[in-house]
Structure 1
Amino acid sequence: MTVAGIEYLVCDINEVRETQSAHPWLASLLSPAEVKRSDRLRHASDRIAYRCAHLVLRLVAARRLGADVRSAGDLEFTRCCRSCGGPHGKPQVTDAEISLSRSGTMVLVGSAPPSSPIGVDIEGLPSEVFPGFDDYVLAPGERTSACTNPDRRRLELWVAKEAALKTTGHGLSVEPNKLEVVQTEVVRTEVVRTSEETSSLDGSGAWASSIRAPDYPDIDGLNLASVPCRPSHAAALSCADRLPVTALTLSDLLIE
């Protein structure tokens, strides 16, 4: 099936592994290059997480393109860093916008029509932020001293900015403090399916924020929405357009 809005899936690696156990053929969808890259990782847990995340990426992309789920292994992804031209950065596939983020055992993948650049990010709440975090990440108007939960707010601002920078492919070549998250007129979205455990900038699944970055025209004005996830994490998606948003489950991706 093809869709006009944004779709995303947030899940735990263990959920993906359980799905693979029930459907062993899923392991064959990864490309030899993906398997090779995962094998270079030192820890077994990282190798498993990499493969699971990229399997979800393929399944979400196949759904976006209206391709049969069993043909997800035929999709060709490319990566080209906007800054250096190297084979890394935002994944790209013909006729779709796609974005991937992983933090520990949590994976977030989003997709959108090819005319609507998208970026997603998910991060776990750290026990403490690195020294100089506020100077590096926060714009002057985003200081957290007045917040009831400044660590949570820091994380929410971080994932929002990371999602925006992934949307354009800039990544951290642009310092996050050059971007400011601003509240906008709330535009409700029809989130079809979401987790019962939520953590969000707005709490409503709405396009409630945008990026102000006057020095970077292609980043300035990007729209932001929170992604409901477990309380230990925060997640966000960014898009050039305010499209309807649909949350997926792994079962949705296996419809043939």
Structure 2
Amino acid sequence: MTRQQRIETSIEYLICDVGTLSQAREDHRWLDSLLSPAEAAHSNRLRQAADRAAYRSGHLLFRLMAARRLGIEPRDAGELTFTRTCRTCGGPHGKPQIMGAELSLSRSGDMVAVTSAPSSSPIGIDIEHIPNEVFSGFDEYVLTSGESLSPGANTTRRRIELWVAKEAALKTTGDGLNVEPNGLEVVGTDREAPLVPGSVHWAASIRAPEHPELNRLSLATVPCPPSHAAALSCADRLPVTSTSLSDVLIG
């Protein structure tokens, strides 16, 4: 199997910090030219320099991952049409898409996560910074009654792990927070499953009988810095591997 065939039949993900991506933009000045006029304009409207850097970094990485998935040169990633369409109202704020590839993007603080899959395999990724404590009302909004009583659920880390798993699932279908997270239950988590560096273990799934498109989506914890938690969701338990920034820049 060739490298491109492997890419086309598996899931890839990349987690990178904004500082590294910003340095790549300095080293490879052609990168910023990949953004569409709409993306560049949106970035310029952001008041904080950190927010502008994070937005540009995330969208550039999204385009580079799409180019890698489609087998085109990284420098041609700017020719790809980036769209967002809400599945509820049809507005331009839904799941980000590029024709011919299935992708998902998440940003939290100084970390960016992007994943790609075959176009027939909807995918979702989410990454979140672990705060000192969750916001008031978090448990009622995010957790089912069973999850609230489960071992370890009283820790902030475990709460955020459940949050990113549900967010990843909601990104997979494009529902977003139109479906309240407390209507989804994370089941079957194998807390002892070994993680091979650069790979993930499909160790859980979503139980959501009232939402057939979400019910039984597969979940996996994604290795990331200890300051964050990240998860993948997909309908198909395809092989999953990490890639690197240097790989997506080379193509």
- Give the aligned partner of residue 135 of structure 1: 140
**TM-score for the superposition, normalised by structure 2:** 0.92
Tell me, in whole angstroms, the C-alpha distance in 2 between the residues paired with 1:189 and 1:243.
18
- Counterpart check, 1:160 vs 2:190: no
Deviations 1:19-42 (A, max 9, x none): 122211112111111000011111
Q: Tell me which amino acid in the other structure corresponds to 1:245.
A: V
Q: Tell me which amino acid in the other structure corresponds to 1:68.
A: E
Residue aligned with 1:67, SS: coil
- Counterpart check, 1:234 vs 2:229: yes
**TM-score for the superposition, normalised by structure 1:** 0.91
- Counterpart check, 1:91 vs 2:86: no
Tell me, in whole angstroms, the C-alpha distance in 2 between the residues paired with 1:44 and 1:70.
25
Deviations 1:146-200 (A, max 9, x none): 31861110000000000000000100010100000001689x9996x63xxxxxx
**C-alpha deviation, 1:14, in angstroms:** 0.6
- Give the aligned partner of residue 250 of structure 2: 255
Q: Is the 8 A contact 1:189 1:207 kept in 2?
A: no
CA 1:12–1:144 in 2, change beyond 3 Å: closer, same or farther?
farther
Residue aligned with 2:250, SS: coil
Identify the match of residue 36 of structure 1 among 17, 41, 44. Answer: 41
Residue aligned with 2:100, SS: coil
- Give the aligned partner of residue 203 of structure 2: 208
CA 1:63–1:190 in 2, change beyond 3 Å: closer, same or farther?
farther
Tell me, in whole angstroms, the C-alpha distance in 2 between the residues paired with 1:18 and 1:236.
26
Q: Which runs of 5+ in 1 are unaligned?
A: 195-203
Q: Tell me which amino acid in the other structure corresponds to 1:27.
A: D
Q: Tell me which amino acid in the other structure corresponds to 2:224.
A: C
Q: Is the 8 A contact 1:110 1:120 kept in 2?
A: yes
Residue aligned with 1:214, SS: coil
Identify the match of residue 32 of structure 2 among 24, 27, 31. Answer: 27
Q: Is the 8 A contact 2:147 2:153 kept in 1?
A: no
- Give the aligned partner of residue 115 of structure 2: 110
Q: Tell me which amino acid in the other structure corresponds to 1:47.
A: R
- Give the aligned partner of residue 199 of structure 1: none
Q: Is the 8 A contact 2:200 2:241 kept in 1?
A: no
Q: Tell me which amino acid in the other structure corresponds to 2:152.
A: C
**C-alpha deviation, 1:249, in angstroms:** 0.7
Residue aligned with 2:233, SS: strand
Deviations 1:89-141 (A, max 9, x none): 21111111000000011000000001100000000011221111101100111
Q: Which runs of 5+ in 2 are unaligned?
A: none
Residue aligned with 1:15, SS: helix
**C-alpha deviation, 1:3, in angstroms:** 2.1
Q: Tell me which amino acid in the other structure corresponds to 1:44.
A: A
CA RMSD of aligned residues (A): 2.0
Runs of 4+ with >3 A deviation: 188-191
Residue aligned with 1:114, SS: coil
Identify the match of residue 11 of structure 1 among 12, 16, 32. Answer: 16
Q: Alignment identity in percent?
A: 63
Tell me, in whole angstroms, the C-alpha distance in 2 between the residues paired with 1:100 and 1:75.
16
Tell me, in whole angstroms, the C-alpha distance in 1 between the residues paired with 2:122 and 2:87.
14
